[in-house]
Amino acid sequence: MAHRGSCHCGKVAFELDGEVGEVIDCNCSMCRRRGGLLAFFPAEAFTLLTPESDYGTYRFNAERIAHHFCLTCGIAPFSEGVNPKTGEKMACVNVRCLPDVDLSSLSVRQVDGASF
């Protein structure tokens, strides 16, 4: 199933080809502040529809994940990284930025990112 997603102002928009079922609520030092609900997809499933110049990128800790945020409204719709087990490029989507997803229908898994 295809989903459309975006930041609040729409300057960062994307299409996602995949099912959103279980999502992750992470308690690491960044996620606890940002408050997204995250789902991972192969990079091929993710298509950015807007210019890369409209988002900023934040890296911390080991700096392996590029956390993108809109330079206009500040919302962080997605991150990019590599699956450490397979080397496969991954897109990590904040499903709160997918307006067609019923957030109350998702099963939320708590991830203890603070301990990684």
Q: Does 70 bind Zn ion (CB under 5 A)?
A: yes
Q: Which residue, 76 or 91, is less far from Zn ion as judged by CB?
A: 76
Token representation of residue 42: 């192969």
Can you list the positions of beta strands (E) in 1-116?
2-6, 13-17, 22-26, 38-42, 46-48, 55-58, 66-70, 78-82, 89-94, 107-111
Binds Zn ion by CB under 5 A, chosen from 25, 48, 66, 72: 72
CB of 70 to Zn ion, least distance (A): 3
Amino acid at 23: V
The CA angle 79-94-68, to the nearest 5 degrees, is 30
- Interatomic CA distance for residues 85 and 83, integer angstroms: 5
Q: Does 49 bind Zn ion (CB under 5 A)?
A: no
Q: Which residue, 52 or 112, is less far from Zn ion as judged by CB?
A: 52
Binds Zn ion by CB under 5 A, chosen from 29, 59, 60, 73: 73
Q: Does 11 bind Zn ion (CB under 5 A)?
A: yes
Binds Zn ion by CB under 5 A, chosen from 7, 16, 37, 95: 7
Q: Which residue, 35 or 88, is less far from Zn ion as judged by CB?
A: 35
- Interatomic CA distance for residues 22 and 104, integer angstroms: 12
Q: Which residues bind Zn ion (CB under 5 A)?
A: 7, 9, 11, 70, 72-73
